[in-house]
Amino acid sequence: MSEFAIQVKHLDKMYKLYNKPSDRLRETLGFKVPVREHYALRDVNFQVERGETVGIIGTNGSGKSTILKIITGVLNPTAGEVKVDGRISALLELGAGFNMEYTGIENVYLNGTMMGFSKEEVDARLQDILDFADIGDFVYQPVKSYSSGMFVRLAFAVAINIDPEILIVDEALSVGDVFFQAKCYRKFEEFKKMGKTILFVSHDLSSISRYCDRVILLNKGVKLEEGSPKQMVDMYKQLLVGQDPAKAEEKKEEQKENWSQQFQVNPNMLEYGTKLAEIVDFAVLDDKGRCTNTIEKGSSFRIRMKVVFHQDIQEPIMAYTFKDIKGTEITGTNTLFEKKSVEHSQSGDCCTVTFEQEMFLQGGEYLLSFGCTGYKDGEFTVFHRLYDACNITVVSNKNTVGFYDMNSKVEIRYGEKA
């Protein structure tokens, strides 16, 4: 048996793009038609050792799902080869491998047969599958009537309970509820301890950091690099803001203009206020001074906003607020709370306010808002607010209960008498 469960060598996948659908038919009939070649993958090489958990990350369109489909035999490569040594169980996009007209039970047996199991072997695993899926009597209903959450429960239960040697998962876990996801990740831990091989594609950088031994970074169909989760997530963050991670030297954000153009801004953010003072730019910077939407839990980061005063303002207050994706305010502060006053706030003045802190929110997705308020002619006034200006992804390899990690230090002592 090879030390490698998966070997990918010089893999290409090319698609022909036609100007109109009829050109495809005309080409099959021998006519010459204009066609463009698009490479979803180009000369990709990597190996996965037996017992490794390897993550694949990259921006949309980088070829992540395509490479999994080739490994599992759903797609054929244009060039190159893939060698797989071991029984694969794959959980790709929702619906793959299931007949929507069949009941849940019938699909369990269908998938088991496709994996090469006999009816008796599926019988022996059926109760474990049903217990893990936990969808009750819906297993006797056609899967076309399932919600997406029920569907992924059954699909994942089948994938992990047919004794695979290699488990391949493509984003599917993002559909299930948080409790089911926790159960799935516990199964991941069991698989790792059992020496199973896992190939994992996800946009959830916290899961990538926590569960993967090694990470492969793709961009526009090309493998950029592979290495530790921390190294690859760091490079991925640079890709997200349009920076070239291959450059050894990067300019610090302080030296750049138009900070908000360096990372992802919500095009539908809510903006209001008198604009007697105006927030003209804002940014979030990581511990290396790079503008980013992704912050590692436990690291220091800065929130920065630039304000221009169009009239004289009394005691302006600059603020930021974090909300969860449901709109609940989690935390925030302002210059008044922090006892920092803005001295120069006459018409024509410009000031930059930087809040520096450590990130101890739990791993997940958050929305960041900015505000500038204060007093005009003795009346409290909202000058400018930017609600849900950008999203912030917190990457974590350890989450606790609730929104905020108390960063507890735990001591355990043994041998003392009761």
The DSSP code for 295 is E
For residues 35 and 250, the model is more confident at: 35
How many other CB atoms are found less than 10 A from the CB of residue 192? 16
Count of CB atoms within 10 A of residue 242's CB?
11
Spatial distance between the Cα atoms of 234 and 226, rounded to a whole number of angstroms: 12
Greater pLDDT, 336 or 414: 336
Q: What is the mean pLDDT of residues 94-123?
A: 86
Q: In angstroms, rounded to a whole number, what is the distance separating the alpha carbons of residues 117 and 48? A: 25
Q: Check whether 249 has a pLDDT greater than 50.
A: no
**pLDDT tens track for 302-321:** 999 999 999 999 889 999 99
Q: How confident is the model at residue 111 (pLDDT cuts 50, 70, 90)?
A: confident
- DSSP readout, 46-88? EEEETT-EEEEEESTTSSHHHHHHHHTTSS--SEEEEEE-S-E
Instruction: State mean pLDDT over 225-234.
Output: 89
The values of phi and psi at residue 221, to 5°, are 85, 0
pLDDT mean over 81-85: 95
Mean pLDDT over 75-103 rounds to 86
- Written as six digits, the tokens of 390 are 């950008």
Name the phi and psi angles at 253, rounded to 5: -60, -30
pLDDT in the model for residue 237: 79
What integer pLDDT is reported at residue 387 of this predicted model?
94
- pLDDT value of residue 417: 73
* The CA-based dihedral angle spanning residues 138, 139, 144, 147, taken in that order and rounded to the nearest 10 degrees: 50
Displacement of CA 362 from its chain's centroid (Å)? 15
Instruction: Provide the edge-to-edge strand list for the sheet that holds 4-18.
Output: 35-49, 4-18, 79-84
Whether the predicted pLDDT of 408 surpasses 50: yes
pLDDT at residue 242, as a whole number? 67
pLDDT at 155: 86
From CA 412, how far away is CA 408, in angstroms rounded?
13
> What is the residue-averaged pLDDT of the chain?
88
Q: What is the pLDDT of residue 42?
A: 95
- For residues 108-117, give the mean pLDDT: 86
pLDDT band at 254 (very low <50, low <70, confident <90, very high): very low
**Confidence band for 255, pLDDT divided at 50, 70 and 90:** very low
Question: Closest by alpha carbon to 318, among 393, 269, 369?
Answer: 369
SS3 238: helix
- Higher-confidence position of 182 and 120: 120
Q: Mean pLDDT across the stretch 351-363?
A: 95
Angstrom distance (rounded) from CA 289 to CA 284: 9
Statement: the pTM of the whole predicted model exceeds 0.75: no
pLDDT computed for residue 172 by the predictor: 61
Distance of CA 246 to the CA centre of its chain: 22
Residue 262 confidence (pLDDT): 78
The pLDDT, as a whole number, for residue 156 is: 85
CA distances from 96 to 116, 170, 401 (A): 17, 11, 34
